Structure 1
Amino acid sequence: MISELRKINPKRRIILHQDNASSHTSQKTRQYLTEENVELLGHPPYI
């Protein structure tokens, strides 16, 4: 999905709002998003 967004408009920044699911916060996911220059909009923890 991110690569498709980059093809459409390569200069536009991507901001991703995600929850705190373990699959979204794993090291591999965070590394990929960093490499793709995706900004993260954090989600407050559930209490």
Structure 2
Amino acid sequence: MKKVTFKISKIVASLALMVTALNVNTTCLFLLHQPKLPKGAEKLYKY
């Protein structure tokens, strides 16, 4: 059971990293709402 939990947690962590990287590199289409990003997310900015 521990191995399954560990694998699932690795998948969830990598998915969270990918979503955060996608969120950092895109902007909101509506100019009035841009969600705040967590600390350290600026490191994932590509430009």
TM-score (norm 1): 0.21
**Whose helix proportion is higher, 1 or 2?**
2
TM-score (norm 2): 0.21
Determine which structure has greater relative contact order: mean sequence separation of CA pairs < 8 Å that are 6+ residues apart, divided by chain length: 1
Larger Rg: 2
